[in-house]
C-alpha cells in the first residue's frame, strides 16, 4: 500500500511537471486558478478545535491565577472595550485593543491623559485614597493589573499619581495633609508626581543633593537645587501635566543635616504654566513608556509653607526646632522609603501579566503554525510539537505560573500589612520585584523569537512589550541592588539568631531550625516530582549559601574590613543567596496555593507545573552544581526529566494559557487567525 501511494504521488508530480513544460513550449500563460489548485494554500485551524479538551476547570484555574477581584477585572475590560479612546483595531475578524505606538511621544502623552480622564470619570479610581481597608486596596491592585495588560504608560502614569504622590501623602502626611489633598488627588483635580531620583543619585537615595532650609521669619521652607547633579530626573508626569510634586530633599536645620525629608511643592498653576523659580525640561524620547511625560526639575530657592512638610515621621516647629519621635537617623530614613514598597508590589504583578501576554500569544501561534515535515511527503508539523520548541516555551510557562502565585502572595501581604511587617514586606517585595521583572524580559525575548518574523510586528505586542517593560529592571530599585539588600537582610537575621541563640523566625527561614536536608545520591523521576524533595533542595541551597555568606563576611570583618566593604567583596555569594531566597519563597507560595485546591484534575496539572518550575530552576542555576547540591550525574538526570515534563505538559498548553483569563482583545492577531489578518482583503479594509 505504501509503495502504491508513493508511486501515485510520483506520477502526479511527473504529470504536473509535464503540463508545465508543455505550456512553456507552447508559450501558454497559466491561470492563477490552475496554480492555486495545484498548490493548495495553508489555512488557519483554531487550536480549540484541534487540541485536546481541558482536563481541568479553566475558570477555576483562572480564579487561582488572578487570585482576587475577578468581577472588577472583567468590569474594567468591558469598560475600555466600549470606548474608541483605547484604539480598537479589527484584524482577522477580531477587534484588538492596543496603544498606537506609531504616534509621536507628544501624541502618546496626550492620549494617555485623555484615557486617564475617561477612567476617572467612570469610577475607575473611586475610593483609592479616601477609603482604607484591605478590600479596597485589593480592588485597586486588581484594576492596576488590568491597566498594565492594556498599556504600561497608562498604568505607570496613574501609578505615579495615585501610589507615589497619593501614597506619600497617605503615609508621610498627617490629618492636615489628608484633608487638603487626598480627595482632590483621587478626583484628579490635583495632578501629582514624585521627585526623588536625581541626575547624580538613583538607588542611593540617602545621597541626594537637593537642599531644604527653614526660614523662621516667614514660616517657610526654602527648596534649592544647588548643582546640576541635584536636578530631579526621570520624574513621571513632570514634563507636561503635573501640578504638584513630592520633593525629597536633605533638611538642614540650624546648620545640621537631619537627613532626607519630603515636602509638597506646586510646580504649575491652574492654567498649566510653570510656577516661578521652577525650571522643567523634558527627558526626551525613550525606548518605551513614551506615553509618560518624564521630566527634569530644578528648584531655585522655591518657598513652600511650613505645613507642606509631610510630618508623620518628623516636624519643624514654627520657631525652627526639629521634632521627631524616631531618634535613630537610619530608622527615620527607612520610614521615608515605605511608599516604594507599593511600587515594587505592582511591578512584580505587572511583570507576570506581561509574561502571560507573551506566552499566550507565542503558544497559541505555535499551535497553529506549521513548519517542515518529519516524514517523506508528510504533512508539516505544528511547531509546538517539536521538542525543542516545547523546551523553549513550556518551562517559562511553568515559571510564570509560579511567579503568579508569588505576586498574589505579595499583594496579600501588602494589603494586610502592619508596622511590624515593614521589614518583611521590604525584603519579599525586593526579591519578587527583581525575579519577576527579570523573568518577564527573558520570557518576552524567547516568545519574540518563537514567533519568528511575526514577533517583530508592533501589532503583535511581544516585541513592543520588551521596550515598554525593560525599565522595570531598574526603576523602584535596581534589581541587582535589591538582591544585595535581600542578602544583607538575611545576614542580619542569621547574626541575630546566632547571637541570641534563639530559633530563626520570619522570612521563611524556619527551615534553618531543622536538620540539614540530605539529597539522594541517585535521583529518580518519582523523587524529583515529590514536593518534599523540591522543598529540601531549595532550602538546602538557601541554608548553605547563607552560612557561606555569613562566614565570608565575618572573616572580612575579623581582618578589619567594614561590614559594608565585606558585603561588596562577597557580591557573588550575595547574588546567589538572593536568588536562592527568592526561588524558595516562590516555591512556598506555589505550595500554599496548591493547598487550597480540592479538584483532583487541577491538582494533577499543578503538580506537573510545579515540578517543571523546580527542575528547570535546578537545571539553569549553576549554583546547584557549583556548590555541590547536585552531582554531575544527577544534573544530567534533571535535564532529561525537564524534557519529559515538556512532553507531559504539551497537551495542556492551550488550557494553561487560556487560564490566564486574558480577553482575546488584549492579545494580538497572530494569537488567532493570522492568515486572515494578513490577507489582502484585510489590507484593503
What is the set of active-site residues?
476
- Looking at residue 179, the DSSP 8-state letter turns out to be I
Cβ-based neighbours of 34, under 8 Å, separated by 6 or more: none
Question: Exposed, middle or buried by CB within 10 Å (0-12, 13-18, 19+), for 319?
Answer: exposed
The conformation of residue 157, written as its DSSP 8-state character, comes to: H
Please list the residues that pair with 91 across neighbouring strands. 94
Of residues 601, 292, 589, the one with CA closest to residue 413: 589
The rounded distance, in Å, linking the Cα atoms of 479 and 494 is: 23
d(CA 461, CA 445): 12
Secondary structure (3-state) at 24: helix
Residue 97, φ and ψ in degrees, nearest 5: -110, 125
Please give the C-alpha separations between residue 473 and each of 68, 161, 426, 571, 621, in angstroms, as whole numbers.
26, 21, 17, 18, 20
User: Which CA distances in Å does 185 have to 56, 162, 178, 602?
Assistant: 44, 7, 10, 43
What crossing angle do the helices spanning 479-500 and 422-450 adopt, rounded to 10°?
Answer: 140
Strand locations in 228-321, DSSP E?
Answer: 232-236, 244-253, 256-266, 278-282, 294-299, 302-305, 314-316
- Asked whether residue 288 is marked as a ligand-binding residue, the answer is no
**Residue 216 and residue 320 in contact, taking contact as beta carbons nearer than 8 Å:** yes
How far apart (Å, rounded) are the C-alpha atoms in residues 184 and 129?
Answer: 10
Helix/strand/coil for 528: helix
Q: How far, rounded to the nearest angstrom, does the alpha carbon of residue 457 sit from its chain's CA centroid?
A: 22
- Say how far apart CA 149 and CA 58 lie, in whole Å: 20
Distances, alpha carbon 251 to alpha carbons 19, 97, 322, 403, 413, in Å: 90, 47, 10, 40, 33
Query: How many other β-carbons are positioned within 10 Å of the β-carbon of residue 582?
Result: 25
197 is in an annotated binding site: yes
Residues 6+ apart with CB under 8 A from 422: 334, 338, 341
Among the listed residues 333, 285, 288, the one whose alpha carbon sits nearest the alpha carbon of residue 313: 333
User: Binding site: which residues?
Assistant: 197, 236
User: Binding site for FAD: which residues?
Assistant: 197, 236
Amino acid at each position: 500500500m505504501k509503495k502504491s501511494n508513493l508511486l501515485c504521488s510520483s506520477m502526479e508530480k511527473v504529470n504536473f511537471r509535464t503540463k508545465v513544460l508543455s505550456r512553456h513550449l507552447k508559450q501558454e500563460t497559466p491561470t492563477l486558478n490552475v496554480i492555486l489548485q495545484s498548490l493548495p494554500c495553508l489555512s488557519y485551524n483554531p487550536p480549540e478545535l484541534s487540541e485536546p479538551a481541558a482536563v481541568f476547570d479553566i475558570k477555576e484555574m483562572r480564579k487561582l491565577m488572578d487570585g482576587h477581584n475577578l468581577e472588577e477585572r472583567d468590569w474594567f475590560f468591558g469598560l475600555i472595550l466600549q470606548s474608541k479612546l483605547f484604539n480598537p483595531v479589527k484584524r482577522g475578524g477580531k477587534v484588538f485593543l492596543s496603544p498606537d505606538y506609531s504616534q509621536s511621544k507628544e501624541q502618546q502623552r496626550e492620549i494617555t491623559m485623555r484615557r486617564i480622564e475617561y477612567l476617572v470619570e467612570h469610577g475607575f479610581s473611586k475610593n483609592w485614597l479616601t477609603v482604607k481597608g484591605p478590600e479596597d486596596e485589593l480592588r485597586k491592585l486588581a484594576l492596576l493589573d488590568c491597566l498594565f495588560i492594556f498599556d504600561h504608560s497608562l498604568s505607570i502614569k496613574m501609578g505615579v499619581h495615585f501610589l507615589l504622590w497619593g501614597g506619600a501623602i497617605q503615609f508621610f502626611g498627617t490629618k492636615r495633609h489628608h484633608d487638603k489633598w487626598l480627595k482632590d488627588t483621587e478626583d484628579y483635580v490635583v495632578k501629582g508626581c514624585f521627585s526623588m531620583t536625581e541626575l547624580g543619585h538613583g538607588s542611593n537615595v540617602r545621597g541626594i543633593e537637593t537642599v531644604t532650609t527653614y526660614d523662621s521669619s516667614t514660616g517657610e521652607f526654602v527648596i534649592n537645587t544647588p548643582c546640576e547633579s541635584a536636578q530631579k530626573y526621570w520624574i513621571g508626569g513632570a514634563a507636561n501635566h503635573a501640578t504638584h510634586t513630592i520633593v525629597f530633599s536633605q533638611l538642614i536645620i540650624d546648620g545640621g543635616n537631619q537627613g532626607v525629608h519630603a515636602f509638597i511643592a506646586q510646580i504649575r498653576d491652574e492654567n498649566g504654566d510653570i510656577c516661578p523659580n521652577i525650571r522643567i525640561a523634558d527627558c526626551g524620547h525613550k525606548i518605551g513608556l513614551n506615553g509618560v511625560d518624564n521630566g527634569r526639575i530644578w528648584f531655585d530657592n522655591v518657598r513652600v509653607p511650613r505645613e507642606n512638610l509631610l510630618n508623620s515621621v518628623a516636624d519643624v516647629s514654627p520657631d525652627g526646632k526639629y521634632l521627631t519621635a524616631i531618634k535613630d537617623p537610619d530608622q527615620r530614613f527607612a520610614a521615608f522609603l515605605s511608599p516604594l514598597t507599593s511600587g515594587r508590589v505592582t511591578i512584580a504583578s505587572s511583570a507576570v501579566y506581561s509574561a502571560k501576554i507573551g506566552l499566550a500569544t507565542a503558544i497559541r501561534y505555535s499551535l497553529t503554525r506549521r513548519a517542515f515535515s518529519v516524514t517523506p511527503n508528510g504533512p508539516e508539523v505544528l511547531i509546538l510539537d517539536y521538542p525543542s520548541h516545547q523546551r523553549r516555551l513550556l518551562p517559562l510557562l511553568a515559571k510564570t505560573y509560579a511567579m503568579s502565585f508569588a505576586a498574589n502572595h505579595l499583594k496579600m501581604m501588602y494589603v494586610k500589612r502592619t508596622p511590624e511587617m515593614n521589614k518583611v514586606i521590604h525584603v519579599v517585595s525586593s526579591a519578587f520585584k527583581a525575579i519577576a521583572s527579570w523573568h518577564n524580559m527573558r520570557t518576552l525575548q524567547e516568545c519574540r523569537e518563537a514567533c519568528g518574523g511575526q514577533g517583530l510586528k508592533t501589532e503583535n505586542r511581544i516585541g513592543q512589550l520588551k521596550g515598554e517593560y525593560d525599565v522595570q529592571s531598574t526603576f523602584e530599585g535596581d534589581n541587582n541592588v535589591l538582591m544585595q539588600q535581600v542578602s544583607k537582610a538575611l545576614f542580619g537575621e542569621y547574626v541575630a539568631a546566632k547571637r541570641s541563640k534563639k530559633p530563626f523566625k520570619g522570612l521563611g527561614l524556619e527551615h534553618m531550625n531543622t536538620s540539614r536536608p540530605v539529597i539522594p545520591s541517585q535521583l529518580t523521576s518519582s523523587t524529583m516530582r515529590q514536593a518534599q524533595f523540591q522543598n529540601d533542595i531549595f532550602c538546602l541551597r538557601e541554608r548553605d549559601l547563607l552560612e557561606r555568606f555569613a562566614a565570608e563576611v565575618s572573616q572580612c570583618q575579623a581582618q578589619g574590613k567594614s561590614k559594608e566593604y565585606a558585603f561588596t567583596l562577597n557580591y557573588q555569594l550575595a547574588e546567589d543567596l538572593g536568588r536562592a531566597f527568592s526561588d524558595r519563597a516562590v516555591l512556598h507560595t506555589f505550595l500554599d496555593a496548591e493547598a487550597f485546591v480540592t479538584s483532583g484534575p487541577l491538582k494533577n496539572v499543578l503538580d506537573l507545573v510545579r515540578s517543571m518550575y523546580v527542575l528547570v530552576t535546578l537545571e539553569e542555576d549553576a549554583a546547584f552544581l557549583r556548590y555541590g547540591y547536585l552531582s554531575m550525574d544527577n544534573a544530567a538526570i534533571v535535564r532529561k526529566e525537564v524534557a519529559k515534563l515538556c512532553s507531559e505538559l504539551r497537551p495542556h498548553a492551550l488550557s494553561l494559557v487560556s487560564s490566564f483569563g486574558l480577553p482575546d482583545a488584549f492579545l494580538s492577531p497572530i494569537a488567532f487567525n493570522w492568515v486572515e489578518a494578513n490577507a489582502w482583503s484585510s489590507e484593503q479594509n
